Amino acid sequence: MLITDVEVEGYGRVDVRLGAGRVVGIGRPGARRGDVDGRGGALLVGLHDHHVHLAALAAEAASVRVGPAEAGDRGGLVGALRSGPPGEWVRAVGYHESVAGELDRWVLDDFAPDRPVRVQHRSGALWVWNSAALRAAGLEGGGHGGDGGDGRFWREDERLRGFTPPVRLDLRGVGARAAAYGITGFTNADPHPGQDLPELLSVLPQRLVVMGIGDAPVKFLLDDATLATPGGLAASVAAVRPRPVAVHCVTRVQLLVTLLALDEAGPVAGDRIEHGSVIPAETMPWLARLGVTVVTQPHFPVERGREYATDVDPDDQAHLYRCRSLAEAGIPLAAGTDAPYGSADPWAVMRAAVERSGGEAVDRRAALDLFAGEPQRPSRVKRLAVGSIADLCLLHVPLKEALDLMSADVVRATFVGGRRITPPE
């Protein structure tokens, strides 16, 4: 394939030839007509979403969103749960307590008594079922183990999966929308992936890294209520070496335990902190010394600012989802959307990173680079060069204009291994 008249960083306006899945030539524009006329737009390396939950994202097509932005308040939530034919299962996602307070089976019974309802918290960690859902699934007791609880299931997705009707997964839609964003690869960050997950996700046109499968990082999911000791976590980390680990850290104590564990077990290339929701300033030299990469979500303080203002401890407010300060401290940094628990649009994440307050904003090029890293080494930014893999994103406009706009509207075409995965014009 020949892509003519494109702007390539370091080369200017050039023609780019692709072959056998790689870039095989970059040179001055010639007289030959290309397969794709770049029209002076920038040709970039493809974007990689370094933290996403693909099956959950694909299930959104069969779900109703009930977060603060969609449901708004109690009346909006009730209306959403009661929509659709009586008796049909309702799968609601994105809930936060600011909509209608704490949920349990009896609250949901009052909201929607005539159908099985299950509501997922915005964090992805909690499902709440109403009594009709528990009866339909044979879990009348509710709670942990179905033994007389309140319909609240904390991190029990694996167990619950066999008790609900199959959910249609719109993976082709996920792949098409991601291609329109310029995404050429995903790192799926589920903590306990089934061995069949890579096959399920294989319909996606993007490249895949699935945590816990093959040589991908092993995901460790931490919760304060069940948090291991540093020595216990270190033993678990050592047991999977030489593979890298990706440790879910959303609280101050989870981060401290992880750093102590990595000190004891010894870090390896590719170790990651997922989220790094709260990173106190005094821990940054420690992170830099370990060389562990932080894969953050700089859009969360923007998307969830109102809720964070009341939900997050005042002592932690200044340390939320650091971005610029991590980079300045020499800590390897990358970003993931965490979709569907955050926006799936990486350009929206970039805009948020640029617009952050409190000294955490990064410049526009640095924001783009958060999604331009290698799949296995997220902070190592890819550059388009002869011999590089032809995972590419062609823009309508030159790079400077694209960075000014910082919008998915600038994406014209996306290529994986030299094959176009966006529809032809």
Torsion of CA 73, 78, 80, 81, to 10 degrees: 140
Query: What's the confidence (pLDDT) of residue 146?
Result: 43
Supply 103's token pair. Answer: 């949920």
Query: What's the confidence (pLDDT) of residue 143?
Result: 45
- With both helix axes pointing from N to C terminus, report the angle between 252-265 and 230-240 in degrees, rounded to the nearest 10: 50
pLDDT tens-digit profile of 133-179? 999 988 876 444 444 489 999 888 888 878 888 889 999 999 999 99
Does 425 have pLDDT greater than 90?
A: no
Name the more confident of 159 and 332. Answer: 332
Structure confidence at residue 29 as a pLDDT band (50, 70, 90): confident
Query: What's the confidence (pLDDT) of residue 141?
Result: 61
What would the mean pLDDT of 47-65 be, rounded to a whole number? Answer: 94
Q: Give Rg (Cα) of the chain.
A: 23
What would the mean pLDDT of 308-320 be, rounded to a whole number? Answer: 90
> Residues 4, 38: contact at Cβ < 8 Å?
yes
Supply 216's token pair. Answer: 């991908």
CB atoms inside a 10 Å sphere around CB 194: 15
Query: What's the confidence (pLDDT) of residue 159?
Result: 83
pTM of the model: 0.93
What span, in angstroms and rounded, lies between the C-alpha atoms of 248 and 14?
A: 43
| DSSP secondary structure letter of residue 205 | S
Report CA 365 to chain centroid distance, whole Å: 20
Report CA 6 to chain centroid distance, whole Å: 30
Looking at the chain, the whole-number percentage of residues with pLDDT higher than 70 is 98
Residue with tokens 């499902």: 127
Mode of pairing for the β-strands spanning 218-221 and 207-210: unpaired
> Residues 209, 185: contact at Cβ < 8 Å?
yes
Contacts of 76 (CB under 8 A, 6+ apart): 66, 70, 99
What span, in angstroms and rounded, lies between the C-alpha atoms of 34 and 356?
A: 41
pLDDT tens-digit profile of 392-411? 999 999 999 999 999 999 99
- Stated as kind and residue range, the H or E segment containing 201 is helix 197-201
Mean pLDDT over all residues of the chain? 93
What would the mean pLDDT of 28-33 be, rounded to a whole number? Answer: 79
Does 31 have pLDDT greater than 80?
A: no
Query: What's the confidence (pLDDT) of residue 310?
Result: 87
CA distances (Å), 253 to each of 23, 223, 289, in order?
46, 10, 19
Query: What's the confidence (pLDDT) of residue 194?
Result: 83
What would the mean pLDDT of 252-268 be, rounded to a whole number? Answer: 97
Contacts of 304 (CB under 8 A, 6+ apart): 122
Sign, Cα dihedral of 73, 75, 78, 79: negative
What would the mean pLDDT of 297-314 be, rounded to a whole number? Answer: 89
pLDDT tens-digit profile of 80-90? 999 877 788 99
Supply 94's token pair. Answer: 């994105």
Query: What's the confidence (pLDDT) of residue 381?
Result: 97
Supply 119's token pair. Answer: 């509501």
pLDDT tens-digit profile of 206-237? 999 999 999 999 999 999 999 999 999 999 99
Torsion region of 40: left, alpha or beta (phi above 0 gives left; psi -120 to 50 gives alpha): left
